[in-house]
Amino acid sequence: MPRLLKALALAVGLFLGAFQAQMAAADITAFGAASTTDGLTEIAKLYEAGGNGQVTLSFASSSTLAKQIENGAPADVFISANAEWMDYLEEKNLLEPGSRSDLLGNRIVFIVPASSPVQSLTVSPQLDLAAILGQDGLLSVGDPAHVPVGKYAKEALENLKLWPQVENRIAAAKDVRAGLVLVERAESPLGIVYASDAVISEKIRVVGAFPTDSHTNIDYPVAALKTANTAASLDFIKFLSTPEAGKIWAKYGFEVK
């Protein structure tokens, strides 16, 4: 009998161990603001290489992703480029309670095509944006109506009394990366992106940074959504704040919280 009990205990132990390993390796889907594309992609590969489950990634503007989640898109984790769209999902009772935290910080900067004669800008109320844009040029930025980078940019420009110069001269992009592309192609002579987006491109140059007190703090909250993969989602969120992940975030220009 003791031998039978030992065998049974061993079998149960092996089953539980396999079950726990399977649970720990559960696959998840993470939705990330467009500006997190490069950093999150690299971190997800590192996470998978550690024997964890596969991470499927989807990137777009925070507003687009939040609306997709509201409409039932199968996301387990959401990283937003501002608090507003995370608040939106929290008000809809779609977040796993207690899973939300601020993950990253960022800055907004002016960029020009690499071939531009503009070398540097002093970002102040005296800045002549109309002269930089020229007769027909447009300021490329995420749509201020709903894209976080555009909202931050409009807020800063308004506080600096610069908005009247450009409010009718906006090339409103669907997300920050689309706005970056317009400047890379020299289709816009001037753009506003996150500092983290400027890091990834050799086709543009940063010519000025906005004063941090000209706009709301740029915080990137992360949270798990209410799905069957809560445990794996929380594991992944925890991994996003590890020193290994922090080095990657910093490499791409983010401030790690």
Helices 2-24 and 230-239 sit at what angle, rounded to 10 degrees? 60
pLDDT band at 126 (very low <50, low <70, confident <90, very high): very high
pLDDT of 122 above 90: yes
pLDDT band at 215 (very low <50, low <70, confident <90, very high): very high
Q: Are residues 175 and 210 in the same domain?
A: yes
CA distance 206 to 199: 9
Q: Are residues 56 and 144 in the same domain?
A: no
pLDDT value, residue 26: 87
Evaluate whether 35 touches 177 at the Cβ level (below 8 Å): yes
Q: Are residues 141 and 75 in the same domain?
A: no
Per-residue pLDDT tens for 71-103?
Answer: 999 999 999 999 999 999 999 999 999 999 999
Mean pLDDT of 132-147: 97
Structural domain of residue 198, as residue ranges? 108-214
Q: Are residues 164 and 231 in the same domain?
A: no
pLDDT of 22 above 50: no
Sorted by sequence, the CB contacts under 8 Å of residue 194 that are 6+ apart come out as 35, 81, 106, 107, 108, 109, 149, 176, 218, 253
40: Cα within 13 Å, side-chain hemisphere: 27
pTM: 0.86
Q: Are residues 190 and 147 in the same domain?
A: yes
CA distance 191 to 79: 24
pLDDT band at 25 (very low <50, low <70, confident <90, very high): low
User: Residue 186: which CATH number?
Assistant: 3.40.190.10
CA distance 46 to 49: 5
Mean pLDDT of 106-117: 97
Positive/negative CA dihedral, 122, 124, 128, 134: positive
pLDDT value, residue 5: 45
Q: Are residues 142 and 179 in the same domain?
A: yes
Q: Are residues 226 and 129 in the same domain?
A: no
pLDDT value, residue 13: 46
Q: Are residues 202 and 120 in the same domain?
A: yes
Mean pLDDT of 198-207: 97
Q: How many domains does the chain have?
A: 2
pLDDT of 21 above 60: no
